[in-house]
Structure 1
Amino acid sequence: MIKRALNPIALQWGPLTVHWYGVIIATGVVLALLLSIREGKRQGIDEDAFYDFLLYALPVAIICARIYYVIFQWPYYSQHPDEIIAIWDGGIAIYGSLLGGTAVLLWYCHRHLISPWQFLDIVSPTVIMAQGMGRWGNFFNQEAFGRITTRAALEYQHIPGWIIDQMDIGGAYRVPTFLYESVWDFTGFIILMLLRHRHHLFKRGEVFLSYLIWYSFGRFFIEGMRTDSLMLGPIRFSQMLSLIFFIGAICIFIYRRRTKKLPWYME
């Protein structure tokens, strides 16, 4: 029996083409927004702040994610400039979106006199949830995969057959690193949601730092399994960033715990 890859196009109506990648990303953003609004109300932040922030952050995050990816694939895109904006075919880098989104968040919080640590604590659990959802866009596009493997090896991991079928890429089965990262992200989301309201467990900013530690730790190892990593010479750039963010978040966490009088930007 011939197995066909799932169609990455969700809807085709005349010239209008809607890709599953975009549907999944949009769904993740909406859910993240709703959950952030709910937590924001609990902490006394008006819901309009989240709508306004999203209007600024979303386009910047998408543009930065695409720029990040295109820079590392410039030998290809320099020959195909018409494809630079084709994000519906995949090719956005999560770290690019995180860097762009965080820059907008800091600007927005400064402008509206909101604690950036508080805002980061609110949105970070929802961000890792959206990241976990976004990996399923990679599933439909058959990207973010690992080395060649066998069907028997995938079945041994109790991976559902419909996922294994989609991992038949270019005539060979591939390690579903997208799945590993999605599971890691959703696990982090559940843990943060269960723990963030525990009395005296987290100080302001530590939910965000915990998110950064969790995500970076998992991404470092999963990135090492991928065969389509964005490279800086011999270095997997996302792996290097994961290490920097992991160590940096731990250092900031410890510093803020041990220092009684914090500078204003650490409060």
Structure 2
Amino acid sequence: MLFAFQFQSPGPIIFEVGPIVIRWYGLLIASAVLIGVSLSQYLAKRRGVNPDALADLAIWLVIGAIPCARIYYVLFEWQEYAQRPEDIIAIWKGGIAIHGAIIGGTIATILFARLNRISFWQLADLIAPSLILGQAIGRWGNFFNSEAFGKPTNLPWKLYIAPPYRPVEFFDSAYFHPTFLYESLWDIGVFILLLSLFFWGLKNYNRLKTGTLAAVYLISYSLGRVWIEWLRTDSLMLGPFKIAQLVSLSAIALGLLILAWLYWFKRPLPDVVSPRRQHKKAINDR
């Protein structure tokens, strides 16, 4: 064996003083938000969009995405949370679903775009790189919480899981696939792809159509999630099917439809803005 690296979580808590408890999960989410806002503002400047709008949108996204991510997770794990309802709001213990966050964030962005008369697809393009980078950072919260790991393995990069966190069916196994790491690395790859497309679009004016980055995000992230989900042991289920895989396959189909609309049929995506804004834009284009 040329190399070996064993992962082992140091625990979910960074430090605690009396009633004050600082957890890795919360710190990582907060860091992802701050980095994401800064990156989106930078990209907005490069596209000639007011960066202050992205700072304002960030508040909407936090309000829309995090609660929806938790609600999504709790609904599909209701049998467990019905027995301990006091944990429903205990988001610091983990248990949020990125697909729920995307749904909540999309609704928040649509509302923000309508109220501020900004193109939804422009905003989606500016958010996509920050979103996938935030996902890459946030996945490490699963590592510290000893959750979202895969099936047992003896690979050199195996992850040690303490007995209290092991699934009942794999209680005698000590090492598992570090699926948090797989997804984090995949997300970094998608982030590099999206940034490359963004700057290519700046150099090749009008060749990268608005909405492309959002579509590529849907396809590329979902492709990774489909195969990584096969390895996980704690997936949310809908009967015999893994929900994340079903949603990911739907997202891939949606992303392909968007790209076909933009480049095959060569039609622009309708902006999610008010009719007044659309009328004003039509007059200015004459």
Query: By the TM > 0.5 criterion, same fold?
Result: yes
Kept in 2, the 8 Å contact 1:167–1:176? The answer is: no
Equivalent residue number for residue 179 of structure 1 = 181
Distance 1:23 1:108, change over 3 A: same
Equivalent residue number for residue 227 of structure 1 = 233
Distance 1:260 1:191, change over 3 A: closer
**What is the CA distance between 1:149 and its match in structure 2?**
1.6
Structure 1 counterpart of 2:63, from 42, 59, 63:
59
Distance 1:247 1:54, change over 3 A: same
Distance 1:229 1:33, change over 3 A: same
Aligned length, in residue pairs? 256
Give the 3-state SS of the residue equivalent to 1:10 in structure 2.
strand
CA RMSD of aligned residues (A): 2.0
Which blocks of at least 5 consecutive residues in structure 2 are unaligned?
1-6, 167-172, 274-286
Structure 2 counterpart of 1:164, from 144, 152, 159:
159
Distance 1:263 1:226, change over 3 A: closer
Whichever residue aligns with residue 113 of structure 1, its letter is R
Equivalent residue number for residue 40 of structure 2 = 36
Kept in 2, the 8 Å contact 1:216–1:242? The answer is: yes
Distance in 1, matches of 2:39 and 2:70, equals 26
Kept in 1, the 8 Å contact 2:74–2:81? The answer is: yes
TM-score, normalization: structure 2? 0.84
> Per-residue CA shift, 1:221-248, capped at 9, x if unaligned?
1112111000011110111000000011
Whichever residue aligns with residue 118 of structure 1, its letter is Q
Kept in 1, the 8 Å contact 2:129–2:195? The answer is: yes
Give the 3-state SS of the residue equivalent to 1:196 in structure 2.
helix
**What is the CA distance between 1:257 and its match in structure 2?**
1.5
Equivalent residue number for residue 245 of structure 1 = 251
Kept in 1, the 8 Å contact 2:26–2:92? The answer is: yes
Equivalent residue number for residue 106 of structure 2 = 102
Give the 3-state SS of the residue equivalent to 1:264 in structure 2.
coil
Q: Does residue 191 of structure 2 align to residue 189 of structure 1?
A: yes
Distance in 1, matches of 2:9 and 2:218, equals 34
Distance in 2, matches of 1:261 and 1:209, equals 15
Kept in 2, the 8 Å contact 1:77–1:83? The answer is: yes
Distance in 1, matches of 2:267 and 2:123, equals 21
Distance in 1, matches of 2:9 and 2:136, equals 21
Kept in 1, the 8 Å contact 2:152–2:177? The answer is: yes
Which blocks of at least 5 consecutive residues in structure 1 are unaligned?
none
**What is the CA distance between 1:265 and its match in structure 2?**
4.5
Distance 1:260 1:146, change over 3 A: closer
**What is the CA distance between 1:44 and its match in structure 2?**
2.4
Bigger radius of gyration among the two: 2
> Per-residue CA shift, 1:89-119, capped at 9, x if unaligned?
1000000001100111011011111111111
Counterparts of residues 197-216 of structure 1 (less than 5 Å):
197-198=199-200, 199-200=204-205, 201-216=207-222
Structure 2 counterpart of 1:236, from 232, 236, 242:
242
Whichever residue aligns with residue 111 of structure 1, its letter is L
**What is the CA distance between 1:47 and its match in structure 2?**
2.5
**What is the CA distance between 1:40 and its match in structure 2?**
1.1
